[in-house]
Amino acid sequence: MLSSMAATGSVKAALQVAEVLEAIVSCCMGPEGRQVLCTKPTGEVLLSRNGGRLLEALHLQHPIARMIVDCVSSHLKKTGDGAKTFIIFLCHLLRGLHAVTDREKDPLMCENIQTHGRYWKNCCQWKFISQALVTFQTQILDGIMDQYLSRHFLSIFSSAKERTLCRSSLELLLEAYFCGRVGRNNHKFISQLMCDYFFKCMTCKTEIDVFELVDDYFVELNVGVTGLPVSDSRIIAGLVLQKDFSVYCPADGDIRMVIVTETIQPLFSTSGSEFILNSEAQFQTSQFWIMEKTKAIMKHLRSQNVKLLLSSVKQPDLVIYYAGVNGISVVECLSSSEVSLIQRIIGLSPFVPPQAFSQCEISNTALVKFCKPLILRSKRYVHLGLIGTCTFIPHCVVLCGPVQGLIEQHEDALHGAFKMLRQLFKDLDLNYMTQTSDQNGTSSLFIYKNSGESYQAPDTGKGSIQRPYQDTVVENKDELEKTQTYLKVHSNLVISDVELETYIPYSTPTDTFQTDETLKCLSLERNRLTDDYEPLLKNNSTAYSTRGNNRIDISYENLQVTNITGKGSMLPVSYKLQNMGASQSYLSSSMPAGCVLPVGGNFEILLHYYLLNYAKKCHQSEETMVSMIIANALLGIPRVLYKSKTGKYSFPHIYIRAVHALQTNQPLVSSQTGLESVTGKYQLLTSVLQCLTKILTIDLVITVKRHPQKVHNQDSEDEL
Amino acid sequence: MSRLEAKKPSLCKSEALTSERVRTTLSVLKRIVTSCYGPSGRLKQLHNGFGGYVCTTSQSSALLSHLLVTHPILKILTTSVQNHVSGFRDCGLFTAILCCNLIENVQRLGLAPTTVIRLNKHLLSLCISYLKSETCGCRIPVDFSSTQILLCLVRSILTSKPACMLTRKETEHVSALILRAFLLTIPENAEGHIILGKSLIVPLKDQRVIDSTVLPGILIEMSEVQLMRLLPIKKSTALKVALFCTTLSGDISDTGEGTVVVSYGVSLENAVLDQLLNLGRQLVSDHVDLVLCQKVIHPSLKQFLNMHRVIAIDRIGVTLMEPLTKMTGTQPIGSLGSISPNSYGSVKDVCTAKFGSKHFFHLIPNEATICSLLLCNRNDTAWDELKLTCQTALHVLQLTLKESWALLGGGCTETHLAAYIRHKTHNDPKSILKDDECTQTELQLIAEAFCSALESVVGSLEHDGGEILTDMKYGHFWSVQADSPCVANWPDLLSHCGCGLYNSQEELSWCFLRSTRHPFVPQTCLPLEAVGSASNLTLDCLTAKLSGLQVAVETANLILDLSYVIEDKN
């Protein structure tokens, strides 16, 4: 019963799937995103802008789609943010890979495999790429983060040592977060609510365990009320249990409470035992004994000033009655998570009714500030004023909304925000290699030579390369020229002339510095360099001609060409710096907790910029290619964010300004206020790369009719 | 092993709101709700086509709970209206109509959803702050020292539900009953925190409405035979009551998870019965006069109690437990053993009563915050509608107790508010826009859409082809009959405005509500003497209307913000 389906060209298939998903998620991405309405099979409706929820609601059948969704949800479980960005980034990566490999005529990779069938060649190629991806993710990415990006990071803490958090920076962070998660008319309100909640719950010292607690028990810490406007949502001090009192006795002063996890009334027999009744009198006496015992326990509780009994099970009528008689309020049927939340807040262990009755003091009681019924829109809840023993000061969020679906959305978003903060408050370890791996002898020779010479030398080298490969260079140049003309055409429309002038000189380099000696010296090196440039230039120009993009996109594509060439001429300087301390060694450092960047694609643009710089420097074609693809795919995210913006705030403008600022070492100016967590972005990047590696390593999808057996089950059978 | 079935993929549709299907279903819903609105609203008959229950109604709560809405967008709309109604009980149709109107009006404009939502929100907060402000010209203070305004409030609710089928006289009677029932739930010596009692509605169908009445205390329905068997009590002092929440039927209670082995010849039933009779003896020796049990009382125990001249009533049901506890001041007893003397309560007296064909056992309290409203109507459907209406009115009175203001009804608040918004956006757009990215033109467009949505809500009060006018001084609502000669002298054709506060003999100028007119400042700050003189006002609940307004705008914003619909087909 095994039928197989060959998934040839898994990248192509994955790209198709990802593009469909991209179309769905991009509509609710960013501050301008809109809501999506999901219906459940039960007929309920859910409003969502949460990428993870949407993807799950789709119930996708395509195997690759399901794999992607799995990857997204495992990422979300960890970080609580970034599902939409995940899909968009993945889609752009696949697009880049697809475009490169479709056209790739790289002799290095394919020549020796050409004898095999095309299918297997593809597979090998994917394997190379996926290996390169893994290398990139494990060895290179962290280095770039640490060495280049880190200088741009801001800290959310007003003082890094004590980790104190000021309200305004938290507001900026949360507002940016909720912008993408809840409806436009509510995001300000919800982020204020979250801010209030945060500062009310925290003691002066912000500890990571508070986030863990809130994240783990968020369901118990919020109450949803339908039929009220969202603006009625508020924060209540204390804990609200979503049940009513079984018995309520108003009490004040010194209120103590106990938690029980079993019935207080003793029963005839416990499980595994047998109770033999020999006479009616025996039955009556045992019933009497039970009654008296229950009465005595409740009286004893009363004498210890216990006025509240929380029970995780249903208590018999008898217990309820004697509780009422003794003025003890009772709340029954607490869920296990409610019990463990209360235990964590006040550090109280359950009370076990003593077997042999004694007058000793009950140790495990806790003091409660108040305990009273709370009525929210004609439904009754139990409101407890717990006195926390840990750093968490118990507060509850009451979320109001006209429909349940909206409340769920807000609840989801708040929960996600706590997940995000939990990640943000952790240090992130970075491990990487200081040197780009395996440089061959020739190239290092070249470096040493160059280091003795003037800075002009590499430029000469670069220019001279063009001679032996006249034909290709001419082609390149033509394209360059072409792109420049496009630039000029569009410059009037969208880009200011001044900025253009600064870039164009870089893109027409060369011929003046040619010297034949260096040419001979570097003949081996040339091959590499041209290889680096060629696919890139071709990539960009063809991308222009085949894709019917709009004007903004065109000018952006072209600009990229000029920028890269421009950077090319500055490249040797950093080369030298890199190799000064050059031996392969692993470094580990860490990113301090609380690193943030301004929103609006800053992280992506920065990483893009430094990755391109890096790509210039490395000599391995896979590495270069991978870095380039990732760098270009990163730009897809800000492009979606600025989709609806025009004029000065359109993406090409933002991009040019950012790159210009980076090149001239000026600080980046962001058009939007708001901050986002670097840790979150970093984790997103690694998750996407892992997902992509997973997709690439699969060469065949086999459909089986039976449910796949779990492996460990078979193992245990073998042992038997 | 559970059967695993692969989930079917969901259906994903984009741009849900612009599709023709959604528009038509939305307009169908709108027509249904608008035609129900107001005192002259048309009734809807809901039935399933296989016989059985038929519901005739014009109330949103009954209507929407019976309608089967399948389209997810409509579902959002109806559930948000239903959620509002279940909390406030009033202004459901208003919310639904306003929401539909807003969606329709805004869609026609074709502006970007971001702008629309932002501006709608600004306009809403403008409305809310005006309605809550001291200068508001369409709200009046509620005076609890006289019944006049409270009666107006109740009467307005009753008249707006034509499916109750009440005559004018019946309306007056029921309004007075509702107000009495409400006043009976307020504790007499209230200090600080007031806890309101409860009015229990007792059904009496197939009776004349005029026979409806209010009694303090609780009525327990019984068959005539049972009632005859109860012995009359002759006692001058209050009666001692024991209320049991546990069963007295002689069941053996939970014996635990292990096994219980009973030797041959041992009868547990007898043992338990002995216990019950012991309990009976204790009750008798404690001089209890009345034993009430939520569940079943064993016949032997019942007989024993009767023999000792103790009245025993069982099968009370869980719904009556709370009011009974409250009224008698008992502690529901859950024990068959020793009973603490504090658990007993008391009633002033008991008697039997007959209303229509039904017999009741009447518990009369010492100090009542619990009362029973015996509600009569001619048939089932009209009774159901009347019951809902009474619940609405009682709830509205409670809401008014919390916030002692009432809004002018009959459409006057809406037209007044629309005039205010128009004036405000026309004369002072800067204060609304502040630092936003919206232009003044956009604001004008949205404000017009918002105001005309409000005005078409009141437009749907008129179902008989009449014309609707508004005056240029107060911005109130005036309606004129369909067959009146056009452009005659308005003061003769019109008598009173919608709420009844102003009459047409004042020097006013009118124009049609639908016509374009220059924005004017409606008179703010309602003079108190004007309120005092008017006796027959139409009033609305402030709290419910405010929430309805907010929910309508929020829901409309929500729906306008949708870009995709994902339907789970499982």
Of B8, B267, B561, the CB nearest to A183: B561
Does residue A404 belong to any structural domain of this protein?
no
Q: Which residues pair with A397 in a beta bridge?
A: A222, A235
- Cβ separation A58–B566 shorter than 8 A: yes
pLDDT tens, position by position, B405-449: 999 999 999 999 999 999 999 888 888 877 667 888 889 999 999
- Cβ separation A317–B246 shorter than 8 A: yes
Q: Write the burial class of residue B319 (CB in 10 Å: 0-12 exposed, 13-18 middle, 19+ buried).
A: exposed
Q: What angle do CA B238, B243, B247 make, to 5 degrees?
A: 155
- Which one is the CATH code of B143-216+374-403: 3.30.420, 1.10.600, 3.40.50, 3.30.260? 3.30.260
Interface probe, candidates A44, A290, A325, A672, chain B, greatest B C-beta count within 10 A = A325
Q: Which of A401-405, A497-501, B252-256 has the lowest mean pLDDT?
A: A497-501
Average the pLDDT over B62-67 and give the result: 90
| A716: enclosing H helix or E strand | helix A711-719
Give the three-class secondary structure for B187. coil
Which token pair is A308? 């509240």
C-alpha span between B548 and A209 (Å, rounded): 42
Which token pair is A81? 């943010």
| B chain contacts of residue A41, beta-carbon cutoff 8 Å | 568-570
Greater confidence (A442 vs A658) lies with A658
Does residue A332 belong to any structural domain of this protein?
yes
Q: Write the burial class of residue A89 (CB in 10 Å: 0-12 exposed, 13-18 middle, 19+ buried).
A: buried
**Closest CA of chain B from A500, distance in Å:** 30
Q: Write the burial class of residue A643 (CB in 10 Å: 0-12 exposed, 13-18 middle, 19+ buried).
A: middle
pLDDT tens, position by position, A145-163: 888 888 888 888 877 666 7
What's the confidence (pLDDT) of residue A574? Answer: 30
Report, in this order, helix, strand and coil percent for chain A, each rounded to 5.
55, 15, 30
What's the confidence (pLDDT) of residue A164? Answer: 75
Phi, psi (deg, nearest 5) at residue A495: -115, 140
Residue at a domain's end among A342, A377, A393: A393
| A chain contacts of residue B82, beta-carbon cutoff 8 Å | 227
C-alpha span between B152 and B393 (Å, rounded): 11
On whether both A16 and A127 belong to a single domain, the answer is yes
Residue B153's Cβ-side half-sphere holds a number of Cα atoms within 13 Å equal to 34
Average the pLDDT over A490-518 and give the result: 35
What's the confidence (pLDDT) of residue B3? Answer: 58
Greater confidence (A148 vs A489) lies with A148
- Cβ separation A59–B565 shorter than 8 A: no
| B chain contacts of residue A321, beta-carbon cutoff 8 Å | 245-246, 331-335, 343
C-alpha span between A96 and A547 (Å, rounded): 13
Q: What sections of B460-541 are H helices per DSSP?
A: 490-493, 528-533
Does residue A318 belong to any structural domain of this protein?
yes
> Residue A537: pLDDT above 90?
no
Residue with tokens 């959604």: B22
What's the confidence (pLDDT) of residue A493? Answer: 36
* Farthest CA pair distance, chain A: 119
Greater confidence (B386 vs A650) lies with B386
Which token pair is A179? 């912008």
| B chain contacts of residue A33, beta-carbon cutoff 8 Å | 563
* Assembly ipTM: 0.89
| A401: enclosing H helix or E strand | strand A395-401
**Closest CA of chain B from A228, distance in Å:** 7
C-alpha span between A454 and B472 (Å, rounded): 87
Average the pLDDT over B184-211 and give the result: 85
C-alpha span between A519 and A536 (Å, rounded): 23
Of B6, B76, B335, the CB nearest to A291: B335
| CATH code of the domain covering residue A365 | 3.50.7.10
Which one-letter DSSP state was computed for residue A544?
A: H
pLDDT tens, position by position, B454-467: 999 998 888 888 88
pLDDT tens, position by position, B116-131: 998 999 999 999 999 9
| A chain contacts of residue B338, beta-carbon cutoff 8 Å | 291, 295
> Residue B473: pLDDT above 50?
yes
- Cβ separation A39–B566 shorter than 8 A: yes
pLDDT tens, position by position, A195-212: 999 888 887 666 778 888
Does residue A612 belong to any structural domain of this protein?
yes
- Cβ separation B9–A59 shorter than 8 A: yes
> Residue A471: pLDDT above 70?
no
What's the confidence (pLDDT) of residue A217? Answer: 92
What's the confidence (pLDDT) of residue B94? Answer: 96
pLDDT band for A472, please (50, 70, 90 cuts).
very low
Give the three-class secondary structure for B440. helix
What's the confidence (pLDDT) of residue A516? Answer: 38
What's the confidence (pLDDT) of residue B412? Answer: 92
pLDDT tens, position by position, B474-486: 889 988 887 766 6
pLDDT tens, position by position, A111-133: 444 444 455 556 667 777 888 88
Residue with tokens 């038929």: B54
C-alpha span between B388 and B566 (Å, rounded): 36
Does residue A16 belong to any structural domain of this protein?
yes
pLDDT tens, position by position, A543-559: 333 333 333 333 333 33
Which one-letter DSSP state was computed for residue B54?
A: -
What's the confidence (pLDDT) of residue A474? Answer: 37
Average the pLDDT over A418-445 and give the result: 64
CATH, range B19-138+408-459+529-567: 1.10.560.10
Q: Where are the domains of chain B?
A: 19-138+408-459+529-567, 143-216+374-403, 218-254+266-367
Of A28, A34, A43, the CB nearest to B113: A34
Residue with tokens 């909640």: A197
- Cβ separation B562–A35 shorter than 8 A: yes
On whether both A45 and A143 belong to a single domain, the answer is yes
> Residue B80: pLDDT above 60?
yes
- Cβ separation B262–A277 shorter than 8 A: yes
- Cβ separation B256–A271 shorter than 8 A: yes
**Closest CA of chain B from A54, distance in Å:** 8
What's the confidence (pLDDT) of residue A103? Answer: 61
Phi, psi (deg, nearest 5) at residue A232: -85, -5
C-alpha span between A378 and B85 (Å, rounded): 12
Does residue A164 belong to any structural domain of this protein?
no
pLDDT mean across residues, chain B: 87
Q: Are B359 and B227 in contact (CB under 8 A)?
A: yes
- Cβ separation B72–A45 shorter than 8 A: yes
pLDDT band for B451, please (50, 70, 90 cuts).
very high
Greater confidence (B435 vs B332) lies with B332
What's the confidence (pLDDT) of residue B157? Answer: 94
Percentage of chain A beyond pLDDT 70 is 70
Which token pair is B365? 């309290």
Closest residue, chain B, to A295 (C-alpha): B338
> Residue B502: pLDDT above 90?
no
Average the pLDDT over A305-320 and give the result: 90
Which token pair is A176? 């940016």
| A chain contacts of residue B279, beta-carbon cutoff 8 Å | none
Host domain of residue A127: 2-103+123-155+594-702
> Residue A539: pLDDT above 70?
no
Q: Are B362 and B350 in contact (CB under 8 A)?
A: yes
Average the pLDDT over A376-404 and give the result: 88
Does residue A580 belong to any structural domain of this protein?
no
Percentage of chain A beyond pLDDT 90 is 13
What's the confidence (pLDDT) of residue A245? Answer: 92
C-alpha span between A194 and A397 (Å, rounded): 9
**Tally of CB atoms within 10 A around B188:** 7
- Cβ separation A403–B257 shorter than 8 A: no
Which token pair is A600? 């609006």
- Cβ separation A269–B547 shorter than 8 A: no
Q: Which of A100-104, A227-231, A460-464, A684-688 has the lowest mean pLDDT?
A: A460-464
Q: B218-254+266-367: CATH homologous superfamily?
A: GroEL (3.50.7.10)
What's the confidence (pLDDT) of residue B281? Answer: 94
> Residue A519: pLDDT above 50?
no
**Closest CA of chain A from B255, distance in Å:** 5
Phi, psi (deg, nearest 5) at residue B73: -70, -45
CA B380 to each of CA B163, B209, B376, B387: distance values in angstroms, whole numbers, following the listed order: 12, 13, 10, 10
What's the confidence (pLDDT) of residue A669? Answer: 72
What's the confidence (pLDDT) of residue A139? Answer: 81
C-alpha span between B538 and B238 (Å, rounded): 45
> Residue A339: pLDDT above 70?
yes
Average the pLDDT over A559-587 and give the result: 39
- Cβ separation B246–A318 shorter than 8 A: yes
B403-407, B513-517, B535-539, range with greatest mean pLDDT = B403-407
pLDDT tens, position by position, B253-280: 667 777 888 888 888 888 889 989 999 9
Q: Are A684 and A86 in contact (CB under 8 A)?
A: yes
> Residue B290: pLDDT above 70?
yes
| A678: enclosing H helix or E strand | helix A678-697
* Structure-derived torsion over alpha carbons of residues B25, B29, B32, B37, reported in degrees to the nearest 10: -150
On whether both A257 and A371 belong to a single domain, the answer is yes
**Closest CA of chain A from B473, distance in Å:** 33
Does residue A618 belong to any structural domain of this protein?
yes
Number of domains in chain A: 2
On whether both A151 and A289 belong to a single domain, the answer is no
pLDDT tens, position by position, A14-59: 888 889 888 888 888 877 788 888 888 787 888 888 888 888 888 8
What's the confidence (pLDDT) of residue B244? Answer: 93
| A chain contacts of residue B567, beta-carbon cutoff 8 Å | 38-39
| A212: enclosing H helix or E strand | helix A208-216
What's the confidence (pLDDT) of residue B504? Answer: 82
Of B121, B261, B275, the CB nearest to A287: B275
| CATH code of the domain covering residue A54 | 1.10.560.10
> Residue A455: pLDDT above 80?
no
pLDDT tens, position by position, B365-416: 988 789 999 999 988 889 999 999 999 999 999 999 989 899 999 999 999 9
